[in-house]
Amino acid sequence: MPTGVITDFNSFLTDDVIKNGLDFTKPTQQNAEGDDFIEIKGLPSGNAFYKNSLGMPIKLRGQPLKVKDILSLNVAKSSGEFEIIDNIIQRRIKGVSVNDLLEMDRLYIMAWLREQSFIRTPLKVNYFKCSECGHQNRDVTISIKDFIIYSLQSGTKDPKFDLPVSQQRVELKYERHGDVKRVINYIKENESFREITDSDAYLFRIASMLKGKSIESGIEFLEKLCPEDFAAINTVVNSMETGITNIAKVKCGKEECQHENLIRIPFSGDFYLPKLQPRMVT
């Protein structure tokens, strides 16, 4: 996600101030085939890069999470625990393999799966104070559409450009999840020989985005560039940063205010396994 874009957060919400309210008015969604896999709409990629062997567009479809999924996510330490999330995506998503899934779509899909799994109990912000008027807002329902999402423009393709100094042609590709795992494995293979710094990891990542090159050949290519040429590549890479953030725009409930507040929603255990109080009977 782009860094430095949002700098003024009026609220930071931890897990214990997010809750879900009961609302049994919404029906379970099914498609025409009778199963519960439905099209995933609103992907940051615009679904532009998913095609079958004939080059025809593929629409990704998803199925609500099951109990074993939300239990796994509840104990996960972070959204970066690839194995847990990969296994869930493999079970609940049709149309693309885990490794071919664009990284920009991955977290969006996880948020989408959560929303589809709790249709009757939408996510609610328990409390926040409006940064504009000071009104104390309670139990505000939010959806995936309220999150700040950086999406590709229609017709976007993998970037191809000439470097300003050497005039070498460079082709980059939007990251697939398989590329991310290649970088992680490359780091593991090399960290026993030397310390891998954050700048090293960043260089490895850019190398993995170079079309037609291995990580090693990509690193060699990048390190031989002059600073101006590398800066050009880095600028393009930064412009490719897209996806869902964990920031939601939530309007103040005061009628004469309606100010949009930026609220951070942690994608952690309670996000996938909310505290939901049933109606007690005697």
**pLDDT score of 2:** 39
**pLDDT score of 81:** 67
* Burial call 34-59: b when 16+ CB within 10 Å, e when fewer: eeebbebeebbbebbbbeeeeeeeee
**pLDDT score of 24:** 30
Q: List Cβ neighbours of 62 (8 Å cut-off, separation of 6 or more).
A: 37, 38, 40, 92, 93, 94, 109, 112, 113, 116
How wide is the angle at C-alpha 276 spanned by C-alphas 130 and 90, nearest 5°?
A: 100
The span from the CA of 209 to the CA of 172, in Å, is 5
- Answering whether pTM is above 0.85, one says no
Q: Which amino acid is at 80?
A: G
**Looking up tokens 């260089």, which residue turns up?**
203
Across the beta sheet with 123-129, the strand order is 18-20, 123-129, 136-141
Coil vs helix vs strand at 38? strand
Coil vs helix vs strand at 169? strand
Across the beta sheet with 260-264, the strand order is 11-12, 260-264, 243-251, 147-150
Q: Which amino acid is at 56?
A: M
Q: What stretches in the chain show pLDDT beneath 50?
A: 1-28, 32-34, 79
**pLDDT score of 77:** 59
Count H helices and E strands in the chain, helices first.
8, 12
C-alpha pair distances (Å), 24 with each of 29, 64, 121, 131, 278: 13, 17, 8, 32, 12
